[in-house]
Structure 1
Amino acid sequence: MVKVSRDARRGVKYAVSARVTAFAVAGAVAAGSVLSTVPVFAQSFQFSNVVIEGNNRVDSGTILNYAEIPQGASISGGGLNDAYQRLVNSGLFETVSIEPQGGTLVISVEEWPVVNRISIEGNDRLDDEQLLPLIQSQSRRIYDPAQAEQDAATLTQAYEESGRLGARITPRIIDRGNDLVDLVFEVSEGGVVEIERVSFVGNSSFSDGRLRRVLDTKQAGPLRQLIQRDTFIGDRLEFDKQLLTDFYRSRGYVDFEILSVNSEFSRERNAFFVTFNVREGQSYEFGEVSATSSLPGIDAQDYLNVTRTRRGQTYSPSSVENDVARMERLAIRRGMTFVRATPQVTRNDRAQTLDINYELERGPRVFVERIDIEGNQTTLDRVIRREFDTVEGDPFNPRQIRASAERIRALGYFKNADVETREGSSPEQVIVDVDVEEQPTGNLSFGGSYSVDDGPGVAISFAERNFLGRGQSLRFQVATGTDSSNSVISFVEPYFLGRDLEAGINVFYRVAEEDDDDYNTEVLGFSPSLEFPIGENTRLGLNYRLSRDRLYNVSEDSSPILQAEEGTLISSSVGYSLSYDTRRTGLNPNAGVLLRFNQDFAGLGGDNKYVKTTATAIAQRLVMNEEVTLRATLEGGALHMIDGDSRVTDRFFLSGNDLRGFEGRGTGPRDLGTENQDALGGNFYTAARFEAEFPLGTPEEYGFSGGVFLDAGSVWGLDNTDGAEGEVDDGFALRSSIGVSLFWDTAIGPLQLNLAKPIKKEEYDEEQVFNLTIATQF
């Protein structure tokens, strides 16, 4: 008899045993043989009938198909063992027994039970909604112990990624009768293993604090229960190493090297101490930048003219990569395919410079056969394909593929995005494989807000960055304060008509009670817009705005100017905006400039006719080994009425953030002859803000930094100066203030607390010494 069985439900594994049939044993004994010397596989069997026992759900024909035992033909003991293995590997049976009985083969099976329900018990930090989608075992399917063990390993890995290295997951089954079981994953979460300290050895050009801000891994701080980046995840250290290397290389440290990364477990086994051992080397600058070519029809000087790197600039690989891209784009525009710009670097250690020569040469004639996209369940293929400058049939350019991969990752739609290439149907063809893993792109938030100007409020917002998988953005927000409410619905299509043309529309409704209920304003309208690039760092936007502007409930004690403006007007305007931004594509990683110019022309229908112009210039630079941030902002605006007088809903005001030390609407033209001396706003304004931000010496994980600032500005000019008793002051009067700031990077956003002292003001100005805002990032 050949008989084998397994009981995996109890965790017991039985070895395969083989025994010769009774008549074979008797024959062997009669021949004087020893049983152990008789090879089982030498025995052959022949069956005229096969009997199957114990199967309830699995059809007998299916079992015969798995066994593959021929009827009427001879089969060895080894063949029976192979049949047994096939039945066991089918995953359908808990135990299998194969027993020859004369000319009949009896196959006895015990089927695995069916999973009735799957549950997770003992989990607290990760809820069922996070864990259940990771489980591959399914209810109403046959129980598979191997799959249950794999599911337990997957859940354990999820806990490790959240910093709980001590988590243990045990799969158990509960017999419910009638061949049904419940599959339960028992969870022992253990504690979070945090990173108590991140330190560096070998760094002299940059402090530990500056380098810690580069890493994605953070030290454990007071908000350790909310901030998940302070938990220890081994895989994240590899990403941190790349971030640290990119940081140094972009600042000219071409010899930078991470010698080792040590992760030491604390004695209490609840924290890690991570140490990066680095070798900085020296910072290099660009030396001579040149271009050469032996290709006919190519003037190297023309290609050199499109480069942006110059002698004396700090060396950066991204600057070289951008120059290569500019040269190759120029070749494509001139109809010259397969031209490659290969940078050749000559090192001058004495002068600490790197000479760059771009060799223009003919690359291999390889074409893109096709682009295959996998893993996107919600996001449409075209959303991913439009990030490629290359389409099927185009010449293959590895640099363009790498740039496309970075753009796909930058979308924020995917947890992982891998872009790889492989040979196509011929050596001259390449297939681009894109494998993505989607992540949630929407959020719904409820919260409170506080503004010194508007007081406490409630905010509700919904945002979806990948609406219906089309790459579109949809946002809905309602914010209410003590004296105001603001509702906005916005929709943006970033690739309108399949081009790099951003189309959007905003619908807005705002109500505000101004100047202690002296008057109310209400604005309802919508504004469609288009925006597109006209240069590497320059974009042009076009917009239209239609709104109903209402001024009502003007107090009898308010200025006659406001009383004359009371009522409802329709404003219809077209405008444009021109922006120049080097914050992400500039040659200097420590400096950036943002320039913006806007003009709106009202009078295309409606009641208002004016030209409104605003301009903003912002510059930022990191100094003192990037420990101190210097920032300067200059802005101004002018409102020119074509017909009639300007209105308070159209004029300019300075808020408490524009001119710290003063209340919102606390400066500017006023009717001094009225009891409440209303702020009237002005047709012109200007403001300048100069500030420095620096570390306070507190642990970086606390998120504190300090700052000092100097603000100056003014609002002036009215069309109608017929106030009460003729005492309207609308002249230019510069206001200024100085102060200190405390920046706090919290889990709810960056907070900025300002303490300001006006140093130049008018007697009627309204001061505001303390100001709390949500800081904006330049």
Structure 2
Amino acid sequence: MAKVISARNAQVGFKRENRVSRAAKIVAVSMALAAGVGAATLPQTAYAQSYAFTSVSIEGNERIEGATILSYAGIARGQRVSAGELNDAYQRILGSGLFESVDLIPQGSTLVIKVVEFPTVNLVTFEGNKRLKDEDLSNIVQTQTRRVFSPRVAEEDAQRISEAYTQQGRIAARVSPKVIKRRDNRVDLVFEVFEGGVIEIERIGFAGNTEFGDRRLRRVLATKQAGPLRAIIKSDTFIEDRVAFDQQLLRDFYASRGYVDFRVTGVNSELTQERDGYFVTFNVEEGQQFHVGNVEVTSDLPEVDVDLFQSKIRLRSGKVYSPTRVENEIARMEKLAVREGLNFVRVEPRITRNDRDLTLDVELQLTRGDRIFVERIDIEGNTTTLDRVVRKQFPVAEGDPFNPRAIRESAERIRALGFFTKADVNAREGSTPQQVIIDVDVEEQPTGSIGFGGSYSSDGGIGLNLSFSERNFLGRGQKFSFGVNTTSSSNKYDLSFSEPAFLGRDLEFGFSANYSETNNENSNFDTTRGTFLPFLAFPVSDNGRLQLRYTLAYTDLPEIEATDTDVGGIIKFESGLGERFDSSVGYTYTYDTLRAGLSDNTRVRLEFGQDFGGLGGDTAFVKTTARAVAQTKIFNDEVTLRASIRGGALSYSKEDSRTTDRFRVSPTVMRGFETNGIGPREINDGLDIDDPLGGNFFAVARFEADFSLGLPEEYGLKGGVFYDVGSVWGVNDGYDSLVSAGGEIVSSDFELRHVVGVSLFWDSVLGPLRLDFTEAVKKNKHDKPLNFNISVSRNF
């Protein structure tokens, strides 16, 4: 009688039949055999059933080699195995995932292994999917054609697809894998997808907030409420991971404003009755606002000059406490330690809480850190960007002391490049405990753009525009742009290039060049202009930066006939001066508090520049420009106040300025007037002459307030009010004698114009746009007011 040990794992679809376990079968057979032997030899002792096989026969395998199956079984020829060990062999073969069923049948001294192989995958397809394309789903699943089919992997693939839909807010999505059998032991795997609808967030509310209103807090969150633009705005879908991220955003928002005890006690997410939306409520405890108390530097290291470090502290008592401010102080102290030759010195902050006066004392303790060095920096994921572009963001190189804070700052600089969608920087132990390896994992994104367009106007005729720009030129981190704009009345060409890390240092080198030919632009005269400007820019302090430049400019106003009555006498005179080359050197100093990494709730930016002509060329002059901008937020950041003042002065000591050299104010500088709408003009009503001359001086002050309109966030709309005041004045001496007969020069003196208006800010798909509706409350007779203007929104 043959002793049969078999077990099957037959499947229909993906439901495994419920069978008695293999071990139970072996035990049952063994007990029966033992009972039969015992009946024949009652006086003898009974032993556990065991087997010894001199040969193994494998049946049913087509693709899998017999030797592979024997390796899974782990049974050697002549080896004595027990029933339990035989069951273990069965489990190993079945667990390989290669077989649909396995039978182990002992036949005397021969072990017969019968297998039924899983089919191969002939085709993987998707049905019912619209929101996610086939190629997207193919990148998600692990089942592949011409590979062994695995029911377990197919079920996991279905779950992965469902999770992908959940990330899009379609939590009702269902995915069912179906198998279609083909000949030659092949199958087609079809994932039937029911996408379901998007579960939107109908309302976001807050409970427990008193210092900041719901509308202000909603602007902090990445998740937005659903609105009429939900088809475009995707951030209104309910995604659990995003809500968790929103909690961190709230904590950071409150912490940066001194609410160190703030916490989110819970988030309630309730489905609507129609089950097509969520009501999300954040339960918060704000706590009280803390200010900075005493700030001091301490150290027990003999080589540290505490007084020196204390004198560099910029965090002052009385300011609202912010972890960011403390981090900036720590970074400043550690940089100072490096400059003083104090390696491995770390700054440890110690915060002491004073509940009585709601202050936090900050002690910055300089201590000796571990002596750890950078072994190497490994960069992965960059296919276009050169390694050296990423390495430049690190202040350390191989062999330098390791500073964790400096590495975190480097990670931020890499992300700020804008070259990568992802930039992860981690440190791990190197070849010794005293060394670390810095791993940089990046994922690149497009950094260039090409523009092509055409236009037509009755004045300019048919126009063609072509532009190209690249922020990571040839993967070197360089900026390059080129543009052509041509019409029947004008031609303009622009070229610019800059290298932000010239000679491997924090030194920017670049140049810009442009050439233009115009006729009948702003007046009835032609111009030809060309400029070449190389420059160097570098930091001079934490917030300050200096640019040095050289400018070579070419200007030509073709001579206008004396009989031409469309142009005034001044323009005719200037056109008769012929070609001119201007050669100048200059500088611009910029101070911007945003460089310190602080919140932009309060920001100051100062600019001052001068150009000195006379280094060769046909003229000698000094051109000075200045600008100051200050911004702050009030009413719990609901309203942004901004004030700016800018001006310029032009003085010639050799030759005189021409209309192409003097200052001209556009609507982006002073709202409410056209370009060249204010300033000196030659007027002759009898000859219909109105020539803008530009001014040797200008000054403009702007005051504005931006605020929310209370509309849903996805609209991207804000409102504003403003008041501008300014003037353009000053012409060359002797110009009165050049005026055409019957004409005059107007607005050549300092006369302030006043403008009020309202603004509408729109974060459109084309970029941030600004629509200004203006009214000039004080203007001169010959000024050119402009009641509406649309432009790109720029605050600084």
Q: With structure 2 as the length reference, what TM-score do the two structures score?
A: 0.85
Moved more, 428-437 or 687-696: 428-437
Contact 2:60 2:117 in 1 (8 A): no
Query: Once the two structures are superposed, what CA deviation does each residue of 1:391-449 show, in whole Å capped at 9, x if it has no partner?
Result: 34333333323333333343444444444444445544444444445555556677999
* Residue 302 of structure 1, CA deviation: 1.0
Separation (CA, whole Å) in 1 of partners of 2:305 and 2:501: 36
* Residue 3 of structure 1, CA deviation: 3.7
Query: Once the two structures are superposed, what CA deviation does each residue of 1:148-205 show, in whole Å capped at 9, x if it has no partner?
Result: 4333333333322222222233344555645555444433222222222222222222
Correspondent of 2:62 among 55, 58, 62: 55
Identity %: 52
Contact 1:20 1:40 in 2 (8 A): no
Provide the secondary structure at the position in 1 that maps to 2:791.
strand
Moved more, 318-327 or 567-576: 567-576
Correspondent of 1:728 among 729, 745, 749: 745
Contact 1:218 1:230 in 2 (8 A): yes
Correspondent of 2:257 among 251, 258, 262: 251
Structure index of larger Rg: 2
Name the amino acid aligned to 1:11: F
* Residue 351 of structure 1, CA deviation: 2.4
Contact 1:288 1:354 in 2 (8 A): yes
1:12 aligns with 2:23: no
Name the amino acid aligned to 1:672: I
Contact 1:2 1:80 in 2 (8 A): no
Separation (CA, whole Å) in 1 of partners of 2:456 and 2:87: 76
Query: Once the two structures are superposed, what CA deviation does each residue of 1:682-710 show, in whole Å capped at 9, x if it has no partner?
Result: 33222111111223344444333322211
Separation (CA, whole Å) in 1 of partners of 2:224 and 2:721: 27
What does residue 575 of structure 2 align with?
A: 565
| Distance of aligned partners of 1:355 and 1:20 in 2 relative to their CA distance in 1, 3 Å threshold | closer
Contact 1:227 1:747 in 2 (8 A): no
Name the amino acid aligned to 1:327: M
Separation (CA, whole Å) in 2 of partners of 1:113 and 1:448: 59
| Distance of aligned partners of 1:534 and 1:21 in 2 relative to their CA distance in 1, 3 Å threshold | closer
The 5 A counterparts of 1:232-311 are 232-311=238-317
1:410 aligns with 2:423: no
Contact 1:41 1:78 in 2 (8 A): no
Moved more, 2-11 or 527-536: 2-11
Moved more, 662-671 or 437-446: 437-446
Contact 1:251 1:589 in 2 (8 A): no
Separation (CA, whole Å) in 2 of partners of 1:608 and 1:586: 43
What does residue 737 of structure 1 align with?
A: 755
* Residue 46 of structure 1, CA deviation: 0.5
The 5 A counterparts of 1:585-664 are 585=596, 589-601=600-612, 610-641=621-652, 643-664=654-675
What does residue 709 of structure 2 align with?
A: 696
Provide the secondary structure at the position in 2 that maps to 1:678.
strand
| Distance of aligned partners of 1:30 and 1:88 in 2 relative to their CA distance in 1, 3 Å threshold | closer
Query: Once the two structures are superposed, what CA deviation does each residue of 1:359-385 show, in whole Å capped at 9, x if it has no partner?
Result: 233233344444444555555444443
| Distance of aligned partners of 1:441 and 1:70 in 2 relative to their CA distance in 1, 3 Å threshold | farther
The 5 A counterparts of 1:429-508 are 429-439=435-445, 441=447, 464-467=470-473, 469-475=475-481, 488=494, 490-506=496-512, 508=514
Separation (CA, whole Å) in 1 of partners of 2:718 and 2:632: 16
What does residue 776 of structure 2 align with?
A: 758
Name the amino acid aligned to 1:46: F
Query: Once the two structures are superposed, what CA deviation does each residue of 1:568-609 show, in whole Å capped at 9, x if it has no partner?
Result: 666665443221101352767521011122334556666666
| Distance of aligned partners of 1:211 and 1:352 in 2 relative to their CA distance in 1, 3 Å threshold | same
Separation (CA, whole Å) in 2 of partners of 1:448 and 1:305: 60
Separation (CA, whole Å) in 2 of partners of 1:66 and 1:599: 82
Contact 2:13 2:179 in 1 (8 A): no
Provide the secondary structure at the position in 2 that maps to 1:246.
helix
Q: With structure 1 as the length reference, what TM-score do the two structures score?
A: 0.87
Correspondent of 2:699 among 643, 665, 686: 686
Contact 1:420 1:432 in 2 (8 A): yes
What does residue 160 of structure 1 align with?
A: 166
Q: Mind listing any 5+ residue stretches in structure 2 that lack a counterpart?
A: 41-45
Separation (CA, whole Å) in 1 of partners of 2:420 and 2:48: 56
Provide the secondary structure at the position in 2 that maps to 1:767.
coil
Separation (CA, whole Å) in 2 of partners of 1:573 and 1:333: 36
Moved more, 188-197 or 135-144: 135-144
| Distance of aligned partners of 1:79 and 1:487 in 2 relative to their CA distance in 1, 3 Å threshold | farther
Provide the secondary structure at the position in 1 that maps to 2:245.
helix
Contact 2:523 2:691 in 1 (8 A): no
Name the amino acid aligned to 1:703: G
Query: Once the two structures are superposed, what CA deviation does each residue of 1:748-774 show, in whole Å capped at 9, x if it has no partner?
Result: 333322221112222111111122222
Moved more, 7-16 or 441-450: 441-450
Separation (CA, whole Å) in 2 of partners of 1:154 and 1:332: 49
| Distance of aligned partners of 1:403 and 1:655 in 2 relative to their CA distance in 1, 3 Å threshold | same
Provide the secondary structure at the position in 2 that maps to 1:229.
helix
1:204 aligns with 2:204: no
* Residue 303 of structure 1, CA deviation: 0.6
Contact 1:47 1:102 in 2 (8 A): no
Name the amino acid aligned to 2:719: G
Separation (CA, whole Å) in 2 of partners of 1:767 and 1:259: 56
Separation (CA, whole Å) in 2 of partners of 1:502 and 1:736: 40
| Distance of aligned partners of 1:23 and 1:247 in 2 relative to their CA distance in 1, 3 Å threshold | closer
* Residue 67 of structure 1, CA deviation: 4.2
Separation (CA, whole Å) in 1 of partners of 2:124 and 2:618: 66
Moved more, 177-186 or 744-753: 177-186
Contact 1:96 1:109 in 2 (8 A): yes
Q: Mind listing any 5+ residue stretches in structure 1 that lack a counterpart?
A: none
Separation (CA, whole Å) in 2 of partners of 1:665 and 1:129: 55
Contact 2:30 2:83 in 1 (8 A): no
| Distance of aligned partners of 1:776 and 1:394 in 2 relative to their CA distance in 1, 3 Å threshold | same
* Residue 269 of structure 1, CA deviation: 1.7
What does residue 43 of structure 2 align with?
A: none
Separation (CA, whole Å) in 1 of partners of 2:113 and 2:361: 79
Contact 1:414 1:436 in 2 (8 A): yes
Provide the secondary structure at the position in 1 that maps to 2:220.
coil
What does residue 44 of structure 1 align with?
A: 51
Name the amino acid aligned to 1:744: W
Name the amino acid aligned to 1:346: T
Separation (CA, whole Å) in 1 of partners of 2:83 and 2:203: 64
Moved more, 432-441 or 270-279: 432-441
* Residue 637 of structure 1, CA deviation: 2.1
| Distance of aligned partners of 1:552 and 1:76 in 2 relative to their CA distance in 1, 3 Å threshold | farther
Provide the secondary structure at the position in 2 that maps to 1:677.
strand
Separation (CA, whole Å) in 1 of partners of 2:495 and 2:144: 41
| Distance of aligned partners of 1:245 and 1:486 in 2 relative to their CA distance in 1, 3 Å threshold | farther
Query: Once the two structures are superposed, what CA deviation does each residue of 1:713-735 show, in whole Å capped at 9, x if it has no partner?
Result: 22233348324236233333322
| Distance of aligned partners of 1:502 and 1:147 in 2 relative to their CA distance in 1, 3 Å threshold | farther
Separation (CA, whole Å) in 1 of partners of 2:229 and 2:9: 52
| Distance of aligned partners of 1:400 and 1:292 in 2 relative to their CA distance in 1, 3 Å threshold | same
Separation (CA, whole Å) in 2 of partners of 1:128 and 1:447: 34
The 5 A counterparts of 1:521-560 are 521=527, 527-545=533-551, 557-560=566-569
The 5 A counterparts of 1:356-375 are 356-375=362-381
1:582 aligns with 2:589: no
Provide the secondary structure at the position in 1 that maps to 2:774.
strand
The number of equivalent residue pairs is: 772
Name the amino acid aligned to 1:727: E
